[in-house]
C-alpha cells in the first residue's frame, strides 16, 4: 500500500467514524430528560460501534441531577450507572477533562464498574462529562480487545462526544429546573393546581374503568392564632412551609398533595371514599393542634377547614365535578364559621 493509499484509507475511516458520531449527537441533542438521554446514549454507542460494555459513572456528591432516583425507574440504568467519590474519580482521570484511553493496569478502574457488575474488558475509554465547568462523571467504554483503546490513539472524536453530552446535560438541567418552577410551588415544592387537574382527569378514568372510588380533599389554612393575639401575617411563608412538610408525613405514600394557592391545599386520594377523607381531616387537625409551630418566641396553632368530594356520589363522575363539589363544601364551612 502506497502512502497515498494509506492516507485515503484514513480519510475514509475518519469520515465513517465522524458520520457515526454525528448520528449519535443529532439523536441526543433533542432529548429533554436525563433518563432518556442516558438510555439512548448507551444504546446508540453499542449499536454504532459494537462496543460490548458501555456505562456511566457519576460523582456521588453531585446530587442536583437526582440520578439515583432516576435509575430506579430504568431497568437499563440500574445496571449501567455507577456512583464514585470525587477524590477517587479525579485521581483515575489525572484531574483532566479530556478522554483517557487505558489498556494496561486496569485494576484501579474497576471502581468505575456498576455495583454487582463484572465486565470483562482489556481496554477502556473514560470520557469525562462536565456541568458548569466542573467534572461530574464519565461515559465509559470497555472492549475485549487490548487494541481497541490505546493511549497513543487520537481522542478528537471522543472529546467532541464528551462536549456534546455535557451540553445535553446542561440543557436538560435548565429545562427541568424551569419545569419545576412552572409546575411546583417554589417554597413548598408541591405540585400546583394545573397538575392536580391533569391527575384528576387521569384518575377519574381509572376510577370509572375499575369501579374504584376517588376522593378529593381540599383544605385551607385559616387564621394562625397566637394566645391573646390575632393573625400573624409576617410568618406566612414559614406557616405554609410547615403545613406542607407535615401534610407529606401525615398522608399515605399513594396520596398526592397539591398547593392551589398560598393557603389552600388539595389531597387526591385514589381508591378511597369520603369516610377515609373525613378521618384524614380529623387526623390533620389533631396533629396541628398538638404540634403548634414555634418561631423564635412565638407559638402559632394552625386552624384548618376542609371540603370533601368523592366519586362515591353518583352525580360526580369527572374531574370538574370533583373540584366544584370540594370547593362548594370548603366555602360552606367558611360561611358557617363567619
Q: Are residues 109 and 198 in the same domain?
A: no
Q: Are residues 199 and 151 in the same domain?
A: no
Is 188 inside a domain boundary? no
Domain that holds residue 255: 193-337
Helices 156-183/34-49 angle, 10° precision: 160
Q: Are residues 9 and 110 in the same domain?
A: yes
* pLDDT in the model for residue 84: 92
Q: Looking at the 3D structure of the chain, how many domains does it have?
A: 2
Q: Are residues 238 and 142 in the same domain?
A: no
DSSP string over 130-142: EETTEEEEEEEEE
* pLDDT in the model for residue 113: 93
* pLDDT in the model for residue 229: 45
* pLDDT in the model for residue 62: 59
Q: What is the mean pLDDT of each run of 10 residues along the chain (338 residues)?
A: 51 72 88 91 92 93 68 82 92 94 95 88 96 92 95 92 93 85 87 93 94 96 57 73 94 92 94 95 94 86 92 92 95 62
Q: Are residues 300 and 240 in the same domain?
A: yes
Q: Are residues 167 and 214 in the same domain?
A: no
Is 167 inside a domain boundary? yes
Q: What is the pTM of this model?
A: 0.64
* pLDDT in the model for residue 308: 96
Q: In whole angstroms, give the CA distance from residue 309 to residue 330.
A: 10
* pLDDT in the model for residue 224: 56
Q: In whole angstroms, give the CA distance from residue 311 to residue 269.
A: 11
Q: Are residues 163 and 14 in the same domain?
A: yes
Q: Are residues 213 and 172 in the same domain?
A: no
93 by DSSP, 3-state: which? coil
Give strand pairing partners of 216: 268, 309
Q: Name the domain boundary from 183, 207, 234.
A: 183
Contact between 10 and 150 under an 8 Å Cβ cutoff? The reply is no
Q: For the domain that residue 212 is a member of, what is the CATH number?
A: 3.30.70.270
Q: In whole angstroms, give the CA distance from residue 56 to residue 159.
A: 16
Contact between 7 and 44 under an 8 Å Cβ cutoff? The reply is no
Q: In whole angstroms, give the CA distance from residue 165 to residue 141.
A: 15
* pLDDT in the model for residue 146: 96
Q: Name the domain boundary from 158, 183, 208.
A: 183
Q: In whole angstroms, give the CA distance from residue 141 to residue 143.
A: 7
Q: In whole angstroms, give the CA distance from residue 278 to residue 161.
A: 56
Q: Are residues 157 and 204 in the same domain?
A: no
Q: Name the domain boundary from 183, 206, 230.
A: 183
Q: For the domain that residue 22 is a member of, what is the CATH number?
A: 3.30.450.40
- How many CB atoms within 10 Å of residue 265? 24
Q: Are residues 157 and 226 in the same domain?
A: no
Q: Are residues 32 and 89 in the same domain?
A: yes
Amino acid at each position: 500500500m502506497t502512502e497515498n493509499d494509506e492516507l485515503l484509507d484514513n480519510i475514509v475511516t475518519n469520515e465513517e467514524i465522524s458520520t457515526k458520531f454525528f448520528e449519535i449527537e443529532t439523536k441526543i441533542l433533542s432529548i429533554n430528560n436525563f433518563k432518556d438521554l442516558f438510555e439512548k446514549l448507551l444504546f446508540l454507542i453499542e449499536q454504532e460501534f459494537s462496543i460490548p460494555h458501555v456505562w456511566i459513572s457519576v460523582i456521588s456528591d453531585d446530587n442536583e441531577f437526582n440520578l439515583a432516583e432516576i435509575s430506579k425507574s430504568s431497568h437499563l440504568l440500574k445496571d449501567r450507572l455507577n456512583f464514585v467519590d470525587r477524590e477517587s474519580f479525579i485521581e483515575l482521570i489525572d484531574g483532566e477533562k479530556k478522554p483517557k484511553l487505558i489498556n494496561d493496569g486496569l485494576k484501579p478502574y474497576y471502581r468505575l464498574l456498576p455495583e454487582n457488575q463484572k465486565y470483562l474488558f482489556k481496554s477502556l475509554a473514560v470520557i469525562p462529562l462536565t456541568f458548569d465547568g466542573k467534572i461530574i462523571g464519565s461515559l465509559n467504554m470497555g472492549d475485549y480487545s487490548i487494541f481497541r483503546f490505546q493511549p497513543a490513539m487520537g481522542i478528537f472524536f471522543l472529546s467532541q462526544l464528551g462536549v456534546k453530552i455535557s451540553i445535553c446535560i446542561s440543557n436538560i438541567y435548565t429545562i427541568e429546573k424551569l419545569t419545576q418552577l412552572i409546575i411546583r410551588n417554589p417554597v413548598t415544592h408541591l405540585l400546583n393546581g394545573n397538575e392536580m387537574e391533569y391527575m384528576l382527569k387521569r384518575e377519574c378514568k381509572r376510577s370509572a374503568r375499575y369501579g374504584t372510588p376517588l376522593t378529593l380533599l381540599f383544605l385551607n389554612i385559616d387564621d394562625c392564632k397566637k394566645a391573646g393575639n390575632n393573625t400573624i401575617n409576617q410568618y406566612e411563608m414559614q406557616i405554609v412551609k410547615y403545613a406542607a412538610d407535615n401534610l407529606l408525613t401525615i398522608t399515605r405514600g399513594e396520596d398526592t398533595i397539591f398547593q392551589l394557592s398560598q393557603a389552600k391545599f388539595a389531597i387526591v386520594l385514589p381508591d378511597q371514599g369520603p369516610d377515609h377523607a373525613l378521618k384524614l381531616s380529623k387526623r390533620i387537625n389533631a396533629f396541628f393542634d398538638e404540634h403548634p409551630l414555634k418561631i423564635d418566641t412565638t407559638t402559632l396553632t394552625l386552624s384548618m377547614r376542609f371540603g370533601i368530594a368523592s366519586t362515591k356520589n353518583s352525580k360526580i363522575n369527572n374531574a370538574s365535578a370533583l373540584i366544584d363539589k370540594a370547593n362548594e363544601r370548603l366555602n360552606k364551612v367558611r360561611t358557617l364559621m363567619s
